[in-house]
Structure 1
Amino acid sequence: MPEALTPLIDAHTHLDACGARDVDDVRAMLDRAEAAGVLAAVTVADDLDAARWAAEAATWDPRVYAAVALHPTRADALIEFARAELERLATQPRVVAIGETGMDLYWPGKLDGCADPGRQRESFAWHIDLAKRTGKPLMIHNREADAEVLDVLRAEGAPETVIFHCFSSGPQMARACVDAGWVISLSGTVSFKNATDLRAAAALVPPEQLLVETDAPFLTPHPFRGAPNEPYCLPYTVRALAEVVDRPAQLVAEQSSQTARRVYGL
């Protein structure tokens, strides 16, 4: 357990993938998180079952909120029934974002059943429209697709609030996002010493456009890289980020929490 650092808000996690199944599991995870200073978490869906689960889990504990969407690699599943179900879930008050959606050019050709880029673009455009119709932030997954993501956002018109979750690009993309007024969420990868471009990008993000996340159970921060991740690990990432941006960890915690509450309307 890291030394507590508070207030913190985990802007993007997957409680179901961390092993949570029911009310007791969710409360236990949030109790561990709160002991480390993490006061709230947004649990994020990547398929329709996960979207239903996330929306329900957000009603089990006041520290939990949800985001719903189909992950870009699952864009082939965005059939009429799935669209109707996501539209229904998106209106629920504790669903605070539409995500994660976007573009992923890493997995096509490597992962069986992964949607091709054309289907991903169609799904991304639909989710952009859903974010606009619901007035909720758009949470973007972008993996090796900087130009494509920006192209779709230009073509469709970005919603009022855009979050680039688990930002993994370099300074050029960071500048484009900052200039557009978009929000950048940083995960445990910022603690990896070999993430030179990402750390340079992180230094460019003003506090009012910066979130922190675990993306648990993935991307556990140094020095526990490769081990299972959970929201309670967030202080490790924030302390590493504080070194990168040359601000006290306590200040980064306070500022990122203020940004999360504003962006998500918590």
Structure 2
Amino acid sequence: MSPSSSERPLVTVVVPTRDNERTIRACLSSVVAQTYEHVELVVVDNHSSDATPRIARELAGTVVVAGPERSAQRNTGIAAARGEWVLWLDSDMVLPARTIDVAVDTALATGASAVALPERTVGEGFWTACRALERECYLDDPWLHNPRLVRRELLLGDAGFDLSMSGPEDADLRMRLRDAGRHIELAPVIVDHDEGRLTIADVLRKRYYYGRSIPAFAAQHEGAVSAQGRAVLRSYARNHRRLLRDPGHAAGMVAMRSLEVVGYALGARRGRADRARGTKG
């Protein structure tokens, strides 16, 4: 039997952000509009220079200023949380109204310690459509989805997000939870990720930035980078019919992923140099 509404656990939604006035209102409004009744909303702003803090104060119960990176912001939000469960979102994500209900039901029904929420890309332009097609290949692959709803007790102290990573920190948490024997379940709900109008320059900049954390991630999880790559390729193979139905965007997806590999490699080279100098870069 499902617990009554009054017995449902409190969920703290943590949203790290910086200069995201284009998307943050839709993101926070979707949290406020959840059918789940026991939600607190914590926004952790990294010294935004646009209207982001004003919008956050309109909609969130708690707004904290902290940085310097997303991992630190998430840890700050977790420390401020009162909920039994913590759910973190990027500020360009929008939740369907029953997302938290479905995620909590999934956790309670399966005994999971963490729940992943599949995403689909929305936005405009050719490259955004290529990203959307790519994400469609992952929707039913539990191994490739990182958790977003986790019991707060599992995230406190050193168990939170690794401050040496910005990009791979989600995969790092997933692997640490699994290594500890924690069950991660995939919720039957899809979150919208508003990536706007992607350009190749945008993609390369982000992958270079994320790539700088790959040496730290690889040092913590031997063989994980290549294993992730193989899992992605298997997803493409399983979805070959989907890709063949849209050959133009499929070709663009392949080109974009190839350039992303270059961005990751260049970023990783910079990350290794930073580690050799004993700095985070």
What is the TM-score normalised by the length of structure 2? 0.25
Which entry has the higher C-alpha Rg, 1 or 2? 2
Normalising by structure 1, report the TM-score.
Answer: 0.26
